[in-house]
């Protein structure tokens, strides 16, 4: 019988997960090991591991990770400063939403990468442009998600607050926003994940540091194993930040665990 809500045991959950990774690794090893696909196009898993160690030993990996992390960190701070208040305002006041949504909503489906040339014209090819790009790419996701989190709060909480004598502002900040915060936290997590997907693009133009720049330099010398190793490194970092944020969220909002 179909049951989408079936609770898998922990061992089953990890078992299936590990099985799928093993399957992929086996397939990959076979394709690369028997050179069904040439090593220039598909480096073998062990080559990738060697490449990772090699990059680590040259001492460029850690500074690159730190540079990328710093960019994402700064962009994330600005994303929160703008995205949270704007999203809350749009969720709370339909007039604000009607006024701002034509500016915000189209950006969600905009080819954000294609905007880079414009950003270069406006902000130059330095750090500012990269931060603005990351910020823009993520904040256009965050704002509508925060707005929807506010709107999704059951109106009964607003009624309760107003009945107890709350002003509109008090109702918003003592009842609605606290009730929306777990979902707002989810939105932040998603937006930061979006930033990780944009990091290599942000570091494509004239970057002096960062993982994207490192990938570019290895690509230029056709070291595919190093490129794959770095892509996996980015994925791992994205996963770690994601899990960390999720853990933080579930700890802070333990009354609505996810």
Partner 1 sequence: MILSVRNIVQEYKTDKGLVRIVDDVTLEYDKPGINFLMGPSGCGKTTLMRLMGGVRPTNVVTPTRGTIHIDGKLCYGPHPDVVTIFQKSTNFPFKTVRQNVNYSFELGEWANRIDYDEQQKRLDWILEKVGLTDRQDNRPAQLSGGQNQRVALASAFVMKPRILLMDEPFVGLDPNTLKGMQKLLVELQEEVGCLVIFVGHDVEEALFISDRITVLTSKPAVIAKDFVITTPKALRTDDWMDTNPLPLQIEKEILHIMRQTK
Contact 161, 175 (CB under 8 A): yes
Among residues 13 and 252, whose Cβ is nearest to partner 1? 252
Among residues 38 and 167, whose Cβ is nearest to partner 1? 167
What is the helix, strand, coil percentage profile of the chain, to 5? 80, 0, 20
* H/E element, 142: helix 127-151
Among residues 166 and 245, whose Cβ is nearest to partner 1? 166
Minimum distance between the CB of residue 250 and partner 1, rounded to whole angstroms?
13
Minimum distance between the CB of residue 181 and partner 1, rounded to whole angstroms?
8
Minimum distance between the CB of residue 174 and partner 1, rounded to whole angstroms?
6
Among residues 82 and 166, whose Cβ is nearest to partner 1? 166
Residue whose structure tokens are 């609605």? 176
Q: Distance between terminal CA atoms of the chain?
A: 25
Among residues 242 and 253, whose Cβ is nearest to partner 1? 253
Q: SS3 sequence, 121-136?
A: HHHCCCHHHHHHHHHH
Contact 128, 66 (CB under 8 A): no
Residues that bind partner 1 (CB under 8 A): 154-167, 170, 174-175, 178-179, 253, 255-256
Here the tokens at position 206 are: 């004239």
Minimum distance between the CB of residue 158 and partner 1, rounded to whole angstroms?
5
Minimum distance between the CB of residue 89 and partner 1, rounded to whole angstroms?
18
How far apart are the C-alpha atoms of 177 and 187, rounded to whole Å? 14
């Amino acid at each position: 019988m179909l049951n989408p809500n079936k609770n898998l045991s922990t061992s089953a959950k990890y078992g299936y997960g590990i099985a799928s990774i093993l399957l992929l690794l086996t397939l990959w090893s076979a394709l690369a090991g028997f050179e069904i696909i040439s090593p220039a196009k598909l480096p073998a898993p062990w080559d990738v591991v060697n490449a990772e160690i090699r990059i680590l030993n040259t001492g460029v990996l850690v500074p690159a990770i730190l540079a990328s992390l710093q960019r994402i960190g700064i962009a994330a701070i600005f994303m929160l400063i703008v995205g949270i208040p704007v999203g809350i305002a749009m969720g709370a006041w339909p007039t604000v939403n009607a006024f701002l949504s034509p500016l915000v909503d189209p950006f969600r489906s905009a080819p954000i990468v294609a905007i880079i040339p414009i950003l270069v014209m406006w902000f130059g090819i330095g750090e500012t442009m990269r931060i603005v790009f990351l910020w823009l790419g993520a904040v256009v996701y965050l704002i509508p998600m925060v707005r929807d989190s506010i709107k999704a709060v059951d109106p009964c909480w607003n009624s309760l607050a107003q009945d107890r004598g709350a002003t509109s502002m008090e109702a918003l900040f003592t009842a609605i926003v606290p009730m929306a915060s777990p979902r707002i936290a989810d939105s932040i997590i998603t937006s930061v994940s979006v930033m990780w997907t944009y990091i290599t693009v942000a570091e494509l133009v004239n970057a002096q540091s960062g993982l994207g720049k490192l990938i570019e330099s290895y690509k230029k010398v056709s070291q595919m194993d190093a490129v794959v190793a770095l892509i996996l490194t980015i994925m791992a970092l994205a996963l770690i930040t994601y899990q960390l944020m999720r853990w933080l969220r579930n700890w802070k909002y333990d009354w609505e665990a996810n």
